[in-house]
Amino acid sequence: MIIFFDDRPCKVVRTSRLSAEDTAHFDNIVDLRLTKFTVSMLTGHVLFLNTTGSVAVQLIEAMEKEVPKDLLSITMATREKSILEDKIKGQYKVIKAAGGVVIKDDKYLLMYRRKKWDLPKGKLDKGENSKSAAVREIEEETGVKALIKDKICTTWHTYHYNNCRILKKTKWYLLDCTDDTAMSPQAEEQIEKLEWLTPKDSKTVLVNSYSSIRYVISALAKTQIRSEQGL
């Protein structure tokens, strides 16, 4: 599970899955059995060992007040991964969404919205499943018709709406373009332009984007490698 707090990635992992290679890049490793959580710990890439639900709540409350400028990422290691994830989800109203990366001639469909590059996505309608929502949202926002090929990943990100904590769960899919003759940016959603970009050019423009979107593109590359290997 990866949650983006103000575009900072926060992962929940099982302690048993951590290796020396995994922990080598952390700037700060904190054993919460040995010391209490403080906001001053949130600098660089942080790994919390023995994370409990109460600490996760403290962290959420601290991040809501102000996200430290020096914070890059948080990893919470625990023996009870599902329990910790449920504790975090319980602090929010969960909203489901879906979106995807459409491919045509080995190029990705990207949109420019609110001065940043983005991918088409949106909330599920009542009774709608994620795959149907992804196809619908893509066509509504871009005019492009597409067919789902594979699942890429799931992301979570937080925000506030009407004084309510929101945790948006977005399922991302890889799709093949079937018809782009009606391609046009949806002005009502403040989409200014659409472009088909090569993977290399996509990485270049996504410098002006969100960490969550760059994460999806990174996960897409892994999905394509598995597909090519027949895994």
Instruction: Say whether both 178 and 224 belong to one domain.
Output: yes
CB 193 within 8 A of CB 186: no
Instruction: Say whether both 103 and 85 belong to one domain.
Output: no
pLDDT of 226 > 80? The answer is no
Q: Indicate the residue among 33, 67, 89 that finishes a domain.
A: 89
CATH number at residue 116: 3.90.79.10
Q: Which domain holds residue 77?
A: 2-89
d(CA 18, CA 94): 28
Instruction: Say whether both 109 and 69 belong to one domain.
Output: no
Instruction: Say whether both 109 and 222 belong to one domain.
Output: yes
Chain-wide mean pLDDT for the chain? 94
| Separation in Å, CA 209 to CA 64, 111, 116, 118 | 22, 10, 5, 6
d(CA 71, CA 182): 43
Instruction: Say whether both 69 and 103 belong to one domain.
Output: no
Instruction: Say whether both 112 and 82 belong to one domain.
Output: no
Percentage of residues in the chain having pLDDT higher than 90: 86
Q: Given pLDDT bands bounded at 50, 70 and 90, which one contains residue 20?
A: confident
88-140 pLDDT, tens digit each: 999 999 999 999 999 999 999 999 999 999 999 999 999 999 999 999 999 99
Residues forming beta bridges with residue 118, ordered by sequence position: 111
What pLDDT sits at residue 230?
64
Instruction: Say whether both 113 and 58 belong to one domain.
Output: no
Instruction: Say whether both 106 and 197 belong to one domain.
Output: yes
Instruction: Say whether both 105 and 179 belong to one domain.
Output: yes
Name the pTM for this structure: 0.90
The 10 Å Cβ neighbour count of residue 113 is 19
d(CA 79, CA 173): 30
For 46-62, what is the mean pLDDT? 95
Instruction: Say whether both 99 and 132 belong to one domain.
Output: yes
Residues forming beta bridges with residue 49, ordered by sequence position: 31
Instruction: Say whether both 201 and 104 belong to one domain.
Output: yes
164-202 pLDDT, tens digit each: 999 999 999 999 999 999 999 999 999 999 999 999 999
Q: Indicate the residue among 89, 116, 151 that finishes a domain.
A: 89
Tell me how many domains the chain contains: 2
Instruction: Say whether both 113 and 148 belong to one domain.
Output: yes
Q: Indicate the residue among 41, 63, 89 that finishes a domain.
A: 89
151-174 pLDDT, tens digit each: 999 999 998 888 899 999 999 999
200-215 pLDDT, tens digit each: 999 999 999 999 999 9
